[in-house]
Amino acid sequence: MTTRTRAPDAGSLPLDQIIAGDCIDVMNALPECSVDLIFADPPYNLQLKGALHRPDNSEVDAVTDDWDQFASFAAYDRFTREWLAAARRILKPNGAIWVIGSYHNIFRVGASLQDAGYWILNDVVWRKSNPMPNFRGKRLTNAHETMIWASKAEGAKYTFNYEALKALNEGLQMRSDWVIPICTGHERLKNEKGDKAHPTQKPEALLHRVLLGTTNEGDVVLDPFFGTGTTGAVAKMLGRHYIGIEREADYRKVAEKRLAKVRKLDKSALEITTSKRAEPRVPFGQLVERGLLRPGEVLVNQRGQAAKVRVDGSLVSAEHRGSIHQVGALLEGAPSCNGWTYWQFKRDGQLIPIDILRQQIRTEMGKHG
Amino acid sequence: MTTRTRAPDAGSLPLDQIIAGDCIDVMNALPECSVDLIFADPPYNLQLKGALHRPDNSEVDAVTDDWDQFASFAAYDRFTREWLAAARRILKPNGAIWVIGSYHNIFRVGASLQDAGYWILNDVVWRKSNPMPNFRGKRLTNAHETMIWASKAEGAKYTFNYEALKALNEGLQMRSDWVIPICTGHERLKNEKGDKAHPTQKPEALLHRVLLGTTNEGDVVLDPFFGTGTTGAVAKMLGRHYIGIEREADYRKVAEKRLAKVRKLDKSALEITTSKRAEPRVPFGQLVERGLLRPGEVLVNQRGQAAKVRVDGSLVSAEHRGSIHQVGALLEGAPSCNGWTYWQFKRDGQLIPIDILRQQIRTEMGKHG
DNA sequence: GTCTAATCTGAATCACGAA
DNA sequence: CTTCGTGATTCAGATTAGA
């Protein structure tokens, strides 16, 4: 494995290498119809303004790198259309592309994909199990990113390993929403100073699922925004060839080092057993939203004390207000209380524990909560 | 409640009604800057080809209605830009919009929203607990739809009931991924023949969360693609005004019947948990004026550092002077500090947070109007 | 060493009213 | 329009420090 310092001659394919340079120039120098899959994590164009502090006054280390700065939506669109066109030229007729983004850029990317002639197969939601909260309480926690999976054209015979993904999902068809933690801990690459080497390193689990599901062993996977090489690392591990393109020398250096350590897995090791998930948490408010309890309805405890359900899923008793757990604890003078087993509601003259309703919701959610 | 057969005169706002007609014409006839929220479920432009059968050979009842047919992406974009512009004109400056869609149309809608000057606040994923499987095994189960929440412009003061949504999620910040079942069972409206009255009826739980989180009681909510009136039903229940626009007489008829049955929830059920931000401001000096704290009295922080209260409500420590917030920030070397939660005073040997005194004043203010 | 508590951090379009 | 002061606001998980 070596890093090339200039684009390769047309006709040859620089397998398992990182190529230095602008991805549009480099892709334009590669032979057409030669690549099986492209995975792209382009700049998101975040348009951040001032600094942001956590409630404890620490400062959030935001993405303020030059490569994420664009003068306007029009400039971002131009850039997007150019790299998407270059990518489409080098894709084999039955090749496919994945692009990941957030609400800042993904709508522009998706529209440009369609305009360029790609055919969208699915959009996939990466649901983060541990996202950064919204510290100021001004919006919803931005807890997901979106990936678009598209074939080169309508009617193309793209690769889809249906059974492999089904096995990965405990025998159930793989859905379009994937729960995966963000990249932290040992997996997160550090530079010499001990800081994160790249501000937006993606988890290997994400690429694992993408490559397992939409490429075959020996396929060529190209990543035009290679960064620290997650795509290459997972490709190598899974026995796929990779081609990385990266402008920044610092990122290339980290990626080279990373890739040198990766070994291809043997087939038996690729089969993973997934641990059984804990029962999904059901917020009490969902019973109200779903009409299982009416706002204004009265719950009672064992001693006959009553509390009224409010429209936001909080309770009000004669003296207290709060969650089902808080009001229960206050009525009992206890430090805590499991509201699910504490409260009952009335149906047809019968008192029924509200936990019955939670079980009902969990059944509906199946394994996908 | 009556159905109007033509657009209303400019200047008047037809509250709690369903208006017959094309949504662009009708919106253009409404007064500008008059609506608090728009919820839109536009045609998805599904581009379905042949019939689809389940493994048991039964046929899937697909969306093949005329209103979902567009000649091209360009035609769909034209339509989208027009209704988004009409919608933006009638929005109040601090109004907001929600649009729901799937990967077929949502990228075009999102890009058009941004181009029209709307400012995206979040994209929200509706994760279906019970989606239709992919019968052919050719793609991932399409298990979600995407909603975009956007303000009329960057910097606008949109409505966001942070604490109410947090309560609905049992005390945790509401995330951008919502697990809600699709609309089935008794909630799913049927026509005279017993078939579903509308092919894409949305669940009330979805609208419950949207309206609770981003409107206030008495707000005006407009739905330009009203269908069978889910937006109106939830709005009425939650004490919001609705305006529905719908072209198809069959849908209007079903919606009229549905809305006639809906009752507004009673006042106590409608109360939501509110943010401290909404509470009246209490200057620290009032504690001194009212004799809750004596001038000369000493406050201490967690680390035992002291500061003396002066007659004008300012503090003096060994090295700093200023407001409770300024002295706290200086002692911590922090960019800011909430003095109310930072300082404590002593009573009967006990250390008590000064915020208790502010709450006391607020309670008194409440009693006196 | 072992268990517990404190600390740190992640693609973030993150305040607002008075003067 | 800008400037200024008040004061509201976080979840999961990994790592480090302490008992």
Q: What tens digit of pLDDT does each residue of A62-72 get? A: 999 999 999 99
- Neighboring chain B residues of A115 at a CB cutoff of 8 Å: 73
Q: Which of residues 270-299 of A touch B (CB under 8 A)?
A: 281, 283-286, 288-291, 294-296
Are A113 and B121 in contact (CB < 8 Å)?
A: no
Q: Token digits for B314?
A: 């300012």
pLDDT surpassing 80 at residue A5: no
The label of the residue with tokens 């406050």 reads: B299
pLDDT of residue B368: 60
- State how far the Cα of B168 lies from the Cα of A287, in Å rounded to an integer: 10
- B47: confidence class by pLDDT, cuts 50, 70, 90: confident
- State how far the Cα of B267 lies from the Cα of A232, in Å rounded to an integer: 59
Strand ranges across the sheet with A306-309: A321-322, A315-317, A306-309, A298-300, A344-347, A350-353
* Largest CA-CA distance found in chain A, in angstroms, rounded: 83
Which nucleotide minimizes the distance between its C1' and the CA of B334?
D7
pLDDT surpassing 80 at residue B290: yes
Give mean pLDDT, residues B154-174. 96
Distance from CA of A313 to the nearest CA of B (A): 5
Q: Is A133 strand, coil or helix? A: coil
Contacts of residue A170, Cβ cutoff 8 Å, sequence gap at least 6? A274, A367
pLDDT of residue B87: 98
pLDDT of residue A311: 81
- Tally C-beta pairs within 8 A across A and B: 211
pLDDT of residue A176: 97
Contacts of residue A76, Cβ cutoff 8 Å, sequence gap at least 6? A45, A70, A105, A108
Q: Is B145 strand, coil or helix? A: strand
CA atoms within 13 A of residue A238's CA, in its CB half-sphere: 26
pLDDT of residue A164: 85
pLDDT of residue A341: 85
- State how far the Cα of A97 lies from the Cα of A221, in Å rounded to an integer: 10
- State how far the Cα of A176 lies from the Cα of B142, in Å rounded to an integer: 5
- State how far the Cα of B307 lies from the Cα of A186, in Å rounded to an integer: 45
Give first-to-last CA distance, chain B, whole Å: 36
Q: Is the separation of the CB atoms in A244 and A226 below 8 Å? A: yes
Q: Which of A142, A149, A288 sits opposite B122 (nearest CB)?
A: A142
pLDDT of residue A270: 54
pLDDT surpassing 60 at residue B130: yes
DSSP line for B325-340: HHHHHHHHT-S---HH
Strand partners, A97: A38, A150
Give mean pLDDT, residues A87-108. 98
Contacts of residue A167, Cβ cutoff 8 Å, sequence gap at least 6? A271
Are A312 and B138 in contact (CB < 8 Å)?
A: no
The overall pTM is greater than 0.85: yes
Q: Is A258 strand, coil or helix? A: helix
Which nucleotide minimizes the distance between its C1' and the CA of A182?
C10
pLDDT surpassing 90 at residue A337: no
Are B173 and A144 in contact (CB < 8 Å)?
A: no
In a mutagenesis test of the B interface, which of A108, A140, A340, A362 is the best target, namely the one with the most B β-carbons within 10 Å? A140
Whether the CA torsion A200, A206, A210, A212 is positive or negative: it is positive
Q: Which of residues 87-106 of B touch A (CB under 8 A)?
A: 102-104, 106
pLDDT of residue A267: 64
Contacts of residue B225, Cβ cutoff 8 Å, sequence gap at least 6? B23, B40, B41, B42, B43, B245, B246
Q: Which of A148, A165, A314 sits opposite B273 (nearest CB)?
A: A314
High-pLDDT (> 70) share of chain A, %: 91
Strand partners, A18: A3, A244
Q: Which positions on strand D lie below 7 Å from a protein C-beta?
A: 5-15
Q: Is the separation of the CB atoms in A229 and A244 below 8 Å? A: yes
- State how far the Cα of A308 lies from the Cα of A295, in Å rounded to an integer: 8
Q: Which of residues 217-276 of A touch B (CB under 8 A)?
A: none
pLDDT of residue B319: 93
Strand partners, A321: A316
pLDDT of residue A277: 40
Q: What tens digit of pLDDT does each residue of B335-363 get? A: 899 999 999 999 998 999 999 999 999 98
- B12: confidence class by pLDDT, cuts 50, 70, 90: confident
Residue A306 near chain B (CB below 8 Å):
no
- State how far the Cα of B258 lies from the Cα of B251, in Å rounded to an integer: 11
Q: What tens digit of pLDDT does each residue of B184-241 get? A: 999 999 988 889 999 999 999 999 999 999 999 999 999 999 999 999 999 999 999 9
Residue A47 near chain B (CB below 8 Å):
no
Q: Which range among A102-106, A162-166, B222-226 shows the weakest confidence by mean pLDDT?
A: A162-166
- A168: confidence class by pLDDT, cuts 50, 70, 90: confident
Which nucleotide minimizes the distance between its C1' and the CA of B322?
D5
pLDDT of residue A273: 34
- State how far the Cα of A350 lies from the Cα of A347, in Å rounded to an integer: 5
Q: Which of B141, B164, B208 sits opposite A173 (nearest CB)?
A: B141
pLDDT of residue B255: 98
Q: Which of residues 322-361 of B touch A (CB under 8 A)?
A: 332, 334-337
pLDDT of residue A275: 32
Q: What tens digit of pLDDT does each residue of B311-333 get? A: 999 999 999 999 999 999 999 98
Residue B202 near chain A (CB below 8 Å):
no
- Per DSSP bridges, beta strands A17-20 and A350-353 are unpaired
Distances (CA, A) of A3 to A16, A25, A30: 9, 16, 16
- Per DSSP bridges, beta strands B321-322 and B17-20 are unpaired
Q: Is A37 strand, coil or helix? A: strand
- A285: confidence class by pLDDT, cuts 50, 70, 90: confident
The label of the residue with tokens 């536009």 reads: B42
The label of the residue with tokens 């059984």 reads: A276
pLDDT of residue A365: 63
Chain mean position to CA A211: 15
Q: Is the separation of the CB atoms in B231 and B198 below 8 Å? A: no
Radius of gyration of chain B (CA): 27
Give first-to-last CA distance, chain A, whole Å: 43
Q: Is the separation of the CB atoms in B215 and B36 below 8 Å? A: yes
Q: Which of A138, A142, A176 sits opposite B141 (nearest CB)?
A: A176
pLDDT surpassing 60 at residue A1: no
- Residue A100 backbone phi and psi in degrees, to 5: -110, 145
The label of the residue with tokens 């990941």 reads: A100
Are A289 and B205 in contact (CB < 8 Å)?
A: yes
- Of the candidates B44, B30, B3, the one whose C-alpha atom is nearest the C-alpha of residue B87 is B30
pLDDT surpassing 80 at residue A236: yes
The label of the residue with tokens 């230095």 reads: A20
3-state helix, strand, coil in chain B (%, to 5): 30, 20, 45
High-pLDDT (> 70) share of chain B, %: 96
pLDDT of residue B168: 94
- State how far the Cα of B130 lies from the Cα of B181, in Å rounded to an integer: 6
pLDDT of residue B5: 46
pLDDT surpassing 80 at residue B90: yes
Residue A133 near chain B (CB below 8 Å):
yes
